[in-house]
Amino acid sequence: MSTSVQTVDALSAGVSHAIRRASEALLAQRHDQTYWWAHLTADTTLESDYILLELWLHPPRNGVWNPPTRPRIDKAAQSILARQLPDGGFNIYPEGPADVSATVKAYFALKVSGLGPNHPALRRARKRILDLGGIQAANSYVKINLSLFNLYPRQHRPTVPPEIMLLPWKFIYQMSSWTRAIVIPLAIVQALNPGKPVPAGFTLEELFTPDRSMAFPRDEKTFTWKNVFYAFDRVLKIWERRGPRGIRAKAIRRAEQWMLERTRYSDGLGAIYPPMMYVIMALDLLGYPPEHPDRAEAERQFFNLIVDDGESFFFQPCFSPVWDTAIAGFAVGEAGGIPTDALTRTADWMLSKEVRRKGDWAVKRPGVEPGGWYFEFANEFYPDIDDTAMVLLALKHMRASSPQAQEAAQRRAIRWLLAMQSRDGGWAAFDVDNNWEPLACVPFADHNAMLDPTCPDITGRVMEALCSYGFTGDHPAIRRGVEYLKRTQEPDGSWYGRWGVDYVYGTFLALRGLRAAGENSGAPYIRRAAEWLRGVQNADGGWGETCASYDKGRFVAGPSTPSQTAWGVMGLIAADEAGSSNALRGVEHLVETQRDDGCWDETPATGTGFPRVFYLCYHLYRNSFPLLALASFQKAVSSSGRNHV
């Protein structure tokens, strides 16, 4: 499918100008001309949980919050209120529907912060909660958090026992890295918490639906893993009351040691919000006073996540500098036109973030030398495969102050990536073969991320990175990756995107990986993928997909966004359709929607944390990915003999 050269000629000046402006804008956004780091935003649950933590640490006396605490709580409450939907609920992604769990959290936070039960915002939220099934319909972590204050019956919240630390077969490492980072401090909290006080007369009884059971919903079949774990939860509740205290004490000590070890060389446990919050609670219950170095550092790291710039107040779920830097650096490098030393400080900074200590990943790969990169400023125990691949791609366009150090880091990262390939041929985010499916049935697994299985998006990116360093389709790892992508292609020709929304993301990365591996673009399965991308393009030439795709299990169209349009364009280019009318319309859309300052606007969430539960707005995606798409288009058209762009 191709259009006339005249069409490409007509785009040439606009594309070149857009690339130049986008490159200049991105380079200007570097911190200290070194690294990129933009805001990472989510939903109101972060501010709601912050107020819950303040209730834990500084409960109001006689209904009055401590003066030092009050201003920040007021800001958090206002931040929550500003995002209430017309129907009274709160969503988990921009422009999404009300979510019962987010709405229950918001209601609790607003009420405990001082809003009266007859406040219009609470009346509307209460009605929406009851319409959605009441507090009983909220997810397990809402119930767990509220049960810490006896606001939800403990007998009906999932049990997270510290004794998981004593189980054989390295049980905790069968859970995803983020799940174990959450549940281990949470297990300490559950085991030691007798019930934190709430203001006199405070209750959430008005959120319970009388005709809805609080019991775990059992499957109709006699034997399912879900029913097994529900039965086991009942046993655990008896164990909590009658089990040997010595065993529990040993488990708590083991959990405490594990938790504290993983706060070293990191910006908090896992460097992500939920574990960091539970660590503070756990240290409080373990008797660490506020001035103890471990607790003081835990609180400092947690409160560092606040953005309070005078105009807005919100918590970031974590920091994303390595990820932001790798994507932006790769885009700028692909665009070209900058001096060779322009990114030297960026390369040096990324090399300083290389992981040189063994982390949780080494449990299953004990003989592998550490290498690779994490996502945040510091998170030594948790390098991730996706970041490592992205950094490798970026470093191809950079020259560090010490080329020898750069080459050594790249070699280590490549060896680490090869070692982290799972048995099925794909790559996951943090671990190898983290796919024991029964664990997804435990009562506290409804955050929808109990496991870290392989996924097409990361697999495609890893293949692209490895092939950029000379690997070919004949290499066993690449061959297995190709076969994995063939097996995981959806019937409609797309690929699922685990870490970006959703099928457009997975499809573009799978196609780029397959193209790098040397797969024939005329192969039927690649033609199906290209046909799918063409079929979901919006009338304005862009691509857009909402987070509802995860709920429906299929593509759900949304308004065109710069990042997703860039993904659609790059997918078609990888399928050898750079000159197609669809690709040209996508490029034209990017050029026309670019602002005068070289940037783009984007409101919807296009990043994924926990599918169906937690989504992310990467505020640099809207600029990095369009530049990368335009640069990819420019290269593809030039290499095909059309030197017009």
Q: What one-character-per-residue DSSP string does 582-599 give?
A: HHHHHHHHHHHH--TTS-
pTM of the predicted model over 0.85: yes
Closest CA to 458 of 433, 485, 486: 485
Which pLDDT band holds residue 641 (cuts at 50, 70, 90)? low
What values do phi and psi take at 448, rounded to 5? 65, 30
Query: Catalytic residue numbers?
Result: 386
> Which of 67-76, 124-133, 313-322 comes out lowest in average pLDDT?
67-76
pLDDT above 90: percentage of residues in the chain: 87
Q: Could you read off the pLDDT of 228-243 as tens digits, one per residue?
A: 898 888 999 999 888 8
Q: Which domains does the chain have, with CATH numbers?
A: 45-315 (1.50.10.20)
Which pLDDT band holds residue 643 (cuts at 50, 70, 90)? very low
**Rounded Cα–Cα distance for residues 144 and 153 (Å):** 9
Helical H runs in 539-620? 548-552, 562-574, 581-593
pLDDT at 5 over 50: no
pLDDT at 509 over 70: yes
Angle, helices 273-285 vs 293-303, to 10°: value is 150
| Dihedral of alpha carbons 266, 268, 269, 273, sign | negative
R_g of the chain, CA atoms, integer Å? 25
Q: What is the 3-state secondary structure (H, E, C) of 166-218?
A: HCCCCHHHHCCHHHHHHHHHHHHHHHHCCCCCCCCCCCCHHHCCCCCCCCCCC
Closest CA to 207 of 88, 47, 49, 370: 88
Cβ of 559: how many Cβ atoms within 10 Å? 15
pLDDT at 446 over 90: no
Whole-number mean pLDDT of the chain? 95
If you average pLDDT over residues 1-17, what whole number do you get?
A: 69
If you average pLDDT over residues 290-304, what whole number do you get?
A: 97
pLDDT of residue 35: 98
Q: Which pairs count as long-range contacts for 515-524, CB under 8 Å and 24+ apart, including other chains?
A: 515/464, 515/574, 515/575, 515/576, 516/463, 516/464, 516/467, 516/468, 517/463, 517/467, 517/472, 517/473, 517/478, 517/481, 517/482, 518/467, 518/472, 518/473, 519/473, 519/482, 521/575, 521/576, 522/576
pLDDT at 3 over 60: no
18-23-24-27 Cα dihedral, nearest 10 degrees: 160
Which pLDDT band holds residue 378 (cuts at 50, 70, 90)? very high
